[in-house]
Amino acid sequence: MCPECRALIDRDVSPCPLCGARIRSSRSQARILGGLLPLPSTASSAIVAATIALYALSWFLTQKSAEPGEVTSLGEIDGRVLIRLGAKFGPLIMAGEWWRLVTPIFLHAGLLHIGMNLWCLFDLGPTVESLFSTSKFIFFYFITGVIGFVFSFVWSPYGTSIGASGAILGLIGVLLGATYHHGTIGREYRSQLWRWLILIAVLGLFSATDNAAHLGGLVSGAVLGHFVPEGEPSTRATENAWNILAMISIMIIAASFALMALQMNRPLG
């Protein structure tokens, strides 16, 4: 990606064929390391921190709720704890707990689960945030994650599900949608994204995967990526609109976890 005009270009191309900016090799090296170390991006880092904090809380509650002498798997979270913390659980959603379509985006069932999703987020989050804007990224992550769990609820109304993978697939969808505006360079980048999808699909063969949530996130993300203009908002009015959407997203997330906290100790049965 060109650091000046934000065009999707090959990492080895210099200068940028669209704006003429010279691309330093350090940029390429930083992008290559993107899968290991997150590039500076406020919203992506905040989501990672919140996800890790909730995983730590769920692990603590799992250990606390274990029966004396009970052996718990390393890093595995008890299903009852996840439901109390806001997992997508169909019967409770039908009882009015709509916020269970929001809170599960930040919950994970074990070390492998959270590790894979954060690895993807480290790589994809800063890319989407820099290609579009921070406010657009926040809205994209929120809305594709929620739509993913709406798909999951419709497909399996009595099932339980958690994880950021719907939102992760949403980010891949956003980038896929955006590549159709970039000709040959877009096709090259699109092939890289398809490799991500193949990797996620293969890994899903070895674990319980919420394919409906993945589909909902991917499709909604692709629509957003295709129709939402890249870069920072071009006018003050559109900038304000995206800032409002991002703030509403944050407020809904905060309200959802507040409702979860109020009902956390309520008997489930």
Is residue 32, in this structure, part of any structural domain at all?
Answer: yes
Same-domain pairing of 183 and 242: yes
* This prediction's pTM: 0.82
The Cα-based distances of 59 to 48, 74, 80, 268 in angstroms read: 16, 9, 12, 20
Choose among 204, 256, 217: nearest CA to 98: 256
Q: Give the model's confidence band at 5: pLDDT under 50 very low, under 70 low, under 90 confident, else very high.
A: low
Total tally of structural domains belonging to the chain:
2
**Do 24 and 141 share a domain, yes or no?**
no
The model's pLDDT over 131-179, given as tens digits with 9 standing for 90+, comes to: 999 999 999 999 999 999 999 999 999 999 999 999 999 999 999 999 8
- Give DSSP secondary structure letters for 227-238: HSPSSS-SSHHH
State the distance between the two ends of the chain, measured CA to CA, in whole angstroms.
52
Task: With beta carbons less than 8 A apart as the criterion, state whether 85 and 103 touch.
Answer: yes
Share of the chain above pLDDT 90, in %: 58
Regarding whether 48 and 31 lie in a shared domain, the answer is no
Show Cβ contacts of residue 214 under 8 Å, excluding neighbours closer than 6 positions: 148, 165, 166, 169, 200, 204
In a domain, 221, yes or no: yes
Cα–Cα separations (whole angstroms), residue 203 to 113, 116, 215: 11, 10, 15
Give 100's DSSP letter. G
Q: Tell whether 130 and 197 lie within a shared domain.
A: yes
User: Tell me, what's the pLDDT at 198?
Assistant: 85
Alpha carbon 131 to its chain's center? 16
Contacts of 59 (CB under 8 A, 6+ apart): 75, 77
Q: Verify that 70 and 32 share a domain, yes or no.
A: no
Does residue 3 lie in a domain region? yes
172 phi, psi to nearest 5 deg: -60, -40
Q: Provide the 3-class DSSP secondary structure of residue 148.
A: helix
Q: Please name every residue paired with 161 in a beta bridge, in sequence order, or none if there are none.
A: 88
Are 127 and 210 within one domain?
Answer: yes
Structural domain contains residue 149: yes
- pLDDT band at residue 22 under the 50/70/90 scheme: low
What's the sign of the alpha-carbon dihedral 252, 257, 259, 260?
A: positive
Residue 81: both structure tokens together: 């704890």
Residue 168: the pLDDT is 95
User: Among residues 135, 132, 182, 138, which one has the least CA distance to residue 50?
Assistant: 138
Task: For residues 121 and 103, give the distance between their C-alpha atoms in angstroms, rounded to a whole number.
Answer: 17
Q: How many CA atoms lie within 13 A of 126 on its CB side?
A: 21
Are 242 and 109 contained in the same domain?
Answer: yes
Contact (Cβ atoms closer than 8 angstroms) between residue 132 and residue 175: no
Active centre residues (catalytic): 165, 214
Q: What CATH number is given to the structural domain containing 111?
A: 1.20.1540.10
What are 195-233's pLDDT values in tens digits? Answer: 878 877 787 776 678 989 999 999 999 999 999 999 888
Question: Is the same domain home to 28 and 60?
Answer: no
Domain boundaries, position 12: 1-37
- What are 155-168's pLDDT values in tens digits? 999 999 999 999 99
Q: List CB contacts of 96: < 8 A, sequence separation 6 or more.
A: none
Is residue 159 a contact partner of residue 152, using CB atoms and an 8 Å limit? yes
**131: nearest Cα among 200, 250, 41:** 41
